[in-house]
Each structure stands twice: as C-alpha cells, then as structure tokens.
Chain A
Amino acid sequence: MGRTAARLQWLAMGLLALGLTGVSPVQVLGALAIGLSVLTALKLLEARRLGERRLVALLQLVVAGLLSALQPDLVPSLLQIATMFVALAGLLALEVGEGPDWRSLLRRSMSVLLAALPMALVLLLLVPRMSPFSMLPILDDQTAVTGLSETLNPGSIAALADDTAPAARVSFPTGAPPAAEQRYWRVLVHDRFDGRQWLAAPGVRRLSVTTPETPGPNATGALQELWIVEPSGLTTVPWSGNGVPLGTLLRQDSRGELRLRLSTGQRRVYGIAAVPPSAGDNWREQPPRPLDLQGISGRNPRLEALGAQWSRLPAPRERLMAAERWFRNQGFRYSRTPGALPEQAPLDAFLFDRREGFCGHFAGSFSALMRRAGVPARVVSGFRGGSWVTALGGEGYLDLRRSDAHAWSEVWLPGEGWIRIDPSAWVTNPAPARSQAPAAQGSLGWLQRQWWAVDLLWTRWWLGFDRQAQDQLLRRLLGEQRGWVGALILVLVAVGLAAGLGLLAWLGRRGGGDPLRRELERSLALLARHGLAPTPGETLPRFLARVQRQWPALAADLNGLADTYGAARFAPPRSGGPAAGLRELRRRRRRLASELHRGNSHPGKHAGHAGTAPDATD
C-alpha cells in the first residue's frame, strides 16, 4: 500500500468526479453513480488496509462502468477509459507493492486492459445491448437556442442577426447527401395565422410511426440521417421529412414535426431510418384541416383581394402557378434588414409597398395568399442548405449554423398531398443557400470541424450499435443459428475463463516449490480435508505431532511422513539421491490416504484407537 497506489486512486477519483459533472442526478442510474462515487471517496479517505483499498479500486471500476452506460458519447467515453486505466493502475500498485515506477505500472495497466479486449469484444457481440439507438442526452449544459421559435412574426423583426453559432450536424451514413436545392430541414410547422403572425396550433395528432421492430433485410442501410443537434429551447428537432425516426423517444406528428417526448436543454443524437412509412402514417398525405384555410379577414385587405382573385381559378395547381408568376413579376428583393412592418395591414405593406424582406416575409405572405385563394397552406421553419464538410479520411457531414435558419411554405394539393414551396427563391436576388464551408475561420475552425466529424463517426458506429445492428452483425457472422451459437460461445468463453483462472492458480502453486515440497503439499491437502492445517510458522514435525494427538492411530504413518520428509529435505545426501526420498514420500502419502479413507468411513475409528496407540509425544 504505497503512496503511488494512493495517488493513483485519488487521481482515478478525480477523473470520476470529472465524468460525473455531466450526469443528471434525476436519473436513477445517475443518482446511483453519484452516490456510489461519494461513498467510494469516503472509503478511500479512511481506507488503510489492503482489502479496503482493493474494494475502493473495485468500486471505482463499477462507477466508471455505470458512467459508460450513462454517457456513451465520445468525450465521456475517452474520459471513462482514462478513469479505468488509472483505477487499474492503482489496483496494480496495491498488488505489486512499492517497487515498480509509474511507467511500468501504467504499462501493466494497459496490458490488463488489452487482455480484457477479446472478452469485451465477445460481450459486445453477444450480450444484448442495453438501449436501442435512440435519443441520447449528451454532456453539455448550454441552453442556447437555434434561430427558430414557435412563433413566426417576421413583421416585428427589423433585421436578422448573422449568428454563425453551430445549430446541428447531419451525416448521411448510407447514401449521398441530397442535392443542394433539396436541403430543407424541417423543424417547426406554423399552421395558425392571425393576420400578422404564424403560430403552431394545438390538437395535433401523433402519428404511430416508430422504428419497425423487425428490420428488413437491409436494415443496416436503414440509417439515412444521423443528427447531432445543439441544445435549443424547442422540443422539435430537424429532419428531412423522409423516412421514420429511430427509437422510442421521438414522435412524428401529423404535421411532419419530429417531437421529443422530453423537453431538452441538452445536445441530442438521433437517427432517421430510410423506411417508407406505411400508408396513412405519412405526414405528407394527411388531409388538411379547416384550420389550414383560415385567415383573419380584414387585417390585410389588399392581400385578401389578390387571393380572392386567384380563387376563381378552377384548379389549385393553377392558383399556385398564378401566385408564382405574380411573385416573380413584382421585383421582390431579398433583404436581411427590411425594417419593421406597421401594425395595421403588415402583409399589405410588405407585398405592395416595400417589396423587400427575408424568408419569413415571403413564406408568411405567400401562405396567407394561398389560404385566401382556397389552397390549404402553412409555414414551415427549419434550416436550409448547410455547408458540406469533408472530414479527413472519413465521411463528410453537413454543418448547420443558426444563420442557416429558413422559413418556407407548404401547400396541400389534392392527389399530391403537402408539397414544399419556397417563395424566397422567386425573388430577383435570392439569398444563396450556404453550401461551402466558411473559409475564413482559421485552423481552429478547421480543427473543430474535424473533431465534429470524429464525433459523428463515433456516434454512428458506437452509439449506433444497437440491438438491431448487433443482431445483423451476428447474423452475418454466425448465420441463422446465431441464437444458440452465440449462447454456446458465451458458455465456452465462461468455461475457458474459469479454466484459465484455474490453470493460473495451479501454475502459481506448482511454480512455488520444488518436487519434494509439492509432494508434501499433496499430503497436507489430505489432512486439510479433515480440517487440519499447519498454523503460521509451524514446522512439519510439530504439525504432525498435533495431528497425532487427535488421531493417535495414525502415529506410525505420521511419524514416517515427518521422518521421510525431514531426511529427504535436511539430511546429508544419501544413496538413492533426492528421487528416492520423493518416491518414499509418495508411498507414505498413499498409505496415509488409505488410512484416512478407512478412518473417514468410520468417523469414530481413529478416536477409538486412542487407548491402544503408543503414546508417541516428543
């Protein structure tokens, strides 16, 4: 129990504390981990004996394991590995003693970890994964918001701030990213219009779309988008609108929003599977509600007049065309600083007087026009574009910043369902969607983008290794009989481990003595079965005399054993050499064994002979 061990254990304690900073005490496992590590620290504080310190090392490893279940993200995982590494080194320092230096301790610790790797691999493959790939809260306590809010009121915004803070990252593990003009990432749907602002209406039906329990034959290919979203004040998260969300914490509603079950101020990870939703569960095919045609009449008279004019066209598609034509001919200009709109008839002021604004103005007024023209319409806000980052040696990903926030319209056409219309694209100087990485961010920005790429890779391969992926991998490795083959492998590994441990113990005993001593140990083992073992420091004659007092009938055998061993061990070499002594000892052991066996079948026998046995004390 050297100081090295104490230092290593305290270091492990510190690393654990660092890892615990991101753990919420509200979760059961989190509370357990925190409580356990407090206990461990207290135990370490008062631990003096070797056994106690061993217990501390064990507890540290358990807490690190708990943490790894709680926080499977990249940075916490690295921290947990470091913690286990140091805790193991502390344990080794306890066991090895004061001798070795730090470097050799750490090397040993590394080799122990490496030795455990095959076992970890087998467990990873065969033991069912704890949680399916789903929404995982990730260590991060920022409470920033994306550039989106539940209420869209462009009229009150005089100028858009150019906020380049990261909002989300998305990678496309199984396919190419969508074409630049298709990169619309929907987050919120605003379907209630009060003449000035667009809001989200209540009473939305939840779609029952969730991950299919039995993945199809190409289920690994099911992961179409992998998202990491920075903390926001919203409960909805971005997606492309295609496929279905994976996991149980995420719900798709009938408007096509992805809604979290829990509100969050944390980073979130989730995946979208490329599975076509069953008919009736596709948000695009949901019929419009009366709400989708409502506009507050009288707030914007000129807008309503224009919409009413289009409503005379017979087909909704024609009304749409007319609106596009009209927008393109008005000479609208895109501006991030259009100034605030008046309280009275704000959309009229935008459409017919100012004629410049940003996406919210265009989407809001276009949807209002469409409603007046009798076409169900709503405003969708989310992100558009994003800059494509090509990671070193890995897959690229799309980097979405808050300034990529965008709003567009959706209209419902009979037979086609909800389709996306982006009126901002019709203006004379459309704002280009960002598609290149911002170049002027220096090496720090480059480093950060590379780190995010690693983060995404980790998320995909490690967090994405869920029960399905495991099953798939097993199917590929072991074929259809993976169930019992896996069980067989687990059993074999367990048996192998036990056998290995036994072998180690046997080797340890075998290595710790010469043939004579090993032979003696066998004789002692015979007696040990009857509960007789030498006390510390006791010599063989003394011990055997003690045995003899208990079993006087064995006197001759015991004396013979003591004399033979003493002669073979300590007497000057005689004829026959050590082999003769060994043979003699073996013979004596067999005789003792048979005597003991006979005595064993009649427990009282040896005691019964006590009177007749010669008194043979020293």
Chain B
Amino acid sequence: MTRPGRPPLAELTEAIGRVLLGKQHAVRLALACLLARGHLLIEDLPGVGKSTLAEALARSFGLEFRRVSFTSDLLPADLTGVNVFEPAEARFRFRPGPLFSQVLLADEINRASPRTQSALLEAMAAGRVSVDGTSHPLPEPFLVIATQNGLDQGGTAPLPESQLDRFLMRLSLGFPPREAERALLAGEGTSSEALGQRLTPADLLALQERSGRQHVSSALLDYVLDLLARSREPGRSGLPLSPRAGLGLLAAARAWSLIEGRDHVIPDDVQAVAAAVCEHRLDGGQPGTTAGERSAALLAGVDGLR
C-alpha cells in the first residue's frame, strides 16, 4: 500500500539496511524491539551479522555499546560488576560491569552457566542490578541483544522457557539473498563504523514513549485476545501464550505501527511482529522444521479482517 508522506524512521531503517544488506525486515524488527523496550534474542550461525546489527542499532542512536562473550566460566559478577575497595578513600566503590551499557551484545548466551544466564535475565526484567545489597539502576534506554548458537552444538545450556519469555523477540537473520550477498562481496555496503549517529538517546526515549501511546482500538484488542485464546485452545500443538506474551505482542505491534508511520495499530502490525514475538514462546525453544510455522498457523486460525 502506498501512503502519503514518509515514515519518520524510514531513513534510519534504510541506513541500517545499507549496513546489513538484504535484511530490511530483520532490521525493522530489531528497531521495533528497541522501541518497545524489549530485548532481542538472535539465534543463528556465526558470521551472519548479529553483532553488526547490534552495533548499527547502537551507533545510529548514539548509544553506548558493549559486547560480552558468554563462556561457561563467566560469573554473574563479571557481568554486573563488583564493589572494589579504594584504599585512598578507605571505602568500597562500585565498579559497574558490562551490564551497565545501553546496548549489550551477549554473545552465545547459552554457553554460560544457568546461574549467569539468570543474573542477566533478572537484570533485563527488573532494569536494575543489586550488588552486595545495593541496588544500581541500569542506564536508560537498555537493550540486550543476546545471540545463541544452534542447540545441537556442544557445551550449551539451553535457555528454559521461562527465560525465553523475557526476550520480546527472537530473530533469525539467516543468509542474505544472492543479490545482497553479491553487493556485500563487492563491498557496496557501508560498514557500521561509517554509520553516523542520526538520532540521540533522548530521541530514542521519546520514540519509546510515543510507541507506548500508539492508539489501540477495541477491535484490535479483540484481535490480540482472539490470538491468545486460540493459542490456549486444548489440542493445539505448542505451548499456550502467556499474558506477558500478549503484552509483548501488543507493544511490538505498537512499535511496528510507529515505524510504519501510523498513529494506530492495525492487524497487519500484529501479524508483522507475530512470528518474532510468538514463535519462541510457542515452541518453547525447540524450533520447528520451518521458520515461524507455529505462529503462522496461529495467525491463520483467527479472522484477520476484523
């Protein structure tokens, strides 16, 4: 559908798209995730551009970006930071860990011990970290982009369903299309370093706030409720969607409608984000044979015309 005017975020998505060639949809989803104040789980092979995406997102908003490679011996304190004794001042001073960044790329999250995983996920859910009884607020905005290798790889501790639920979206970048890869090999894309800052962190906060105010009509609420109810019908394959999944679906749809340049949410927005928001909640971390098959079946089971 053609629409008059240009969506405000179109420029941004196009710019990031030039970095991550052929991944327009994934880029928009990641952006929606950021606008919806959610966290992102990317499940894919190494080398398809996970960190590039995270870095590009951080750079374009001028956000502080850090990267932690999760290993089996990574301790919670390595993430959150520790209280260090300052001999000069004769007192403990909190030295924040990598968690205190605005965009954290948690590489290979499923290689870490469950204890470390859960520390990260707690921080993600609460927006603050407690060290030795003192609570330290995390920076705003705060986005975790976690990557996870395929479950068939050795030495992994798969995320349990309850922790998968903390991630608003799960994405799979996949291989770029042939044309995009040709452009990549020919060096036609821009590097993430070359990507200048286009918006400020304050802009992002404003956008996040605006995303939360996108209009949701009762007809759309009914649509989301129907989807949730459908997922909970007995005899359906897959896990039922939780109320948190419903909240996440709506928030992501709102962000998507903002990216689309609309002031209200339509079922198309819900459908656009449904696979990313719902699939990992429906399959409980065990992806089906084709990507998004469960959420597609879910969408096909509910009247989309409204």
Q: How many residues of A contact B (CB 8 A)?
A: 26
Residues of B within 8 A of A545 (CB): 1
Asked if residues B304 and A517 are in contact (CB atoms below 8 Å), the reply is no
Q: Which A residues from 521 to 544 make CB contacts under 8 A with B?
A: 524, 534-544
Q: How many residues of B contact A (CB 8 A)?
A: 21
Check if A484 is an interface residue, CB within 8 A of chain B.
Answer: no
Residues of A within 8 A of B303 (CB): 537
Check if B263 is an interface residue, CB within 8 A of chain A.
Answer: yes
Asked if residues B263 and A571 are in contact (CB atoms below 8 Å), the reply is yes
Asked if residues A537 and B264 are in contact (CB atoms below 8 Å), the reply is no
- Which of B12-20, B55-63, B150-158, B294-302 is the interface stretch? B294-302
Give the interface centre of B215, B265, B301, B306 by most chain A CB atoms within 10 Å. Answer: B306
Give the interface centre of A537, A543, A544 by most chain B CB atoms within 10 Å. Answer: A537
CA of A570 to CA of B263, assembled, Å? 10
Closest chain B residue, CB of each to CB of A514:
B219
- Min CB gap A355→B, angstroms: 91
Check if A353 is an interface residue, CB within 8 A of chain B.
Answer: no
Q: Given A537-B302, A570-B219: A559 and B266 within 8 A (CB)? A: no
Residues of A within 8 A of B217 (CB): 569-572
Asked if residues B306 and A535 are in contact (CB atoms below 8 Å), the reply is no
The 0/1 profile, CB within 8 Å of A marked 1, for residues 265-294 of chain B is 111100100000000000000000000000
CA of A161 to CA of B33, assembled, Å? 102
Give the interface centre of B263, B264, B305, B306 by most chain A CB atoms within 10 Å. Answer: B305
Check if B204 is an interface residue, CB within 8 A of chain A.
Answer: no
Check if A520 is an interface residue, CB within 8 A of chain B.
Answer: yes
Residues of A within 8 A of B305 (CB): 517, 520, 524, 534, 538-540, 543
Asked if residues A539 and B1 are in contact (CB atoms below 8 Å), the reply is no
Check if B134 is an interface residue, CB within 8 A of chain A.
Answer: no
- Min CB gap B263→A, angstroms: 7
- Min CB gap A563→B, angstroms: 8
Asked if residues A541 and B1 are in contact (CB atoms below 8 Å), the reply is yes
* Interface of chain A, main secondary structure: helix
B1 contacts which of A517, A535, A616 (Cβ < 8 Å)? A616
Asked if residues A566 and B304 are in contact (CB atoms below 8 Å), the reply is no
Q: Given A539-B268, A541-B1, A541-B268: A572 and B263 within 8 A (CB)? A: yes
Closest chain B residue, CB of each to CB of A563:
B1
Asked if residues B266 and A541 are in contact (CB atoms below 8 Å), the reply is yes
CA of A535 to CA of B266, assembled, Å? 18
CA of A570 to CA of B219, assembled, Å? 7
Asked if residues A542 and B268 are in contact (CB atoms below 8 Å), the reply is yes
How many contacts between A and B, using CB within 8 angstroms? 68
Asked if residues A566 and B2 are in contact (CB atoms below 8 Å), the reply is no
Residues of A within 8 A of B264 (CB): 570-572
- Min CB gap A556→B, angstroms: 10
Residues of B within 8 A of A563 (CB): 1
Check if A188 is an interface residue, CB within 8 A of chain B.
Answer: no
CA of A544 to CA of B2, assembled, Å? 12
CA of A348 to CA of B299, assembled, Å? 105
- Min CB gap A2→B, angstroms: 12
B304 contacts which of A524, A537, A572 (Cβ < 8 Å)? A537
Residues of B within 8 A of A538 (CB): 304-305
Give the interface centre of B1, B263, B299, B306 by most chain A CB atoms within 10 Å. Answer: B1
Check if B220 is an interface residue, CB within 8 A of chain A.
Answer: yes
B265 contacts which of A537, A570, A618 (Cβ < 8 Å)? A570
Q: Given A537-B301, A543-B305: A570 and B266 within 8 A (CB)? A: yes
What residues of chain A have their CB less than 8 Å away from a CB belonging to chain B?
Answer: 517, 520, 524, 534-545, 559, 562-563, 566, 569-572, 614, 616, 618
Instruction: List 28 A-B residue pairs with CB atoms under 8 Å apart, sorted by A's residue number.
Output: A524-B305, A534-B305, A537-B271, A537-B301, A537-B304, A538-B305, A539-B271, A539-B304, A539-B306, A540-B306, A541-B266, A541-B268, A542-B268, A542-B271, A542-B304, A559-B1, A563-B1, A566-B266, A569-B266, A570-B215, A570-B217, A570-B264, A570-B266, A570-B267, A571-B215, A571-B217, A572-B264, A618-B1
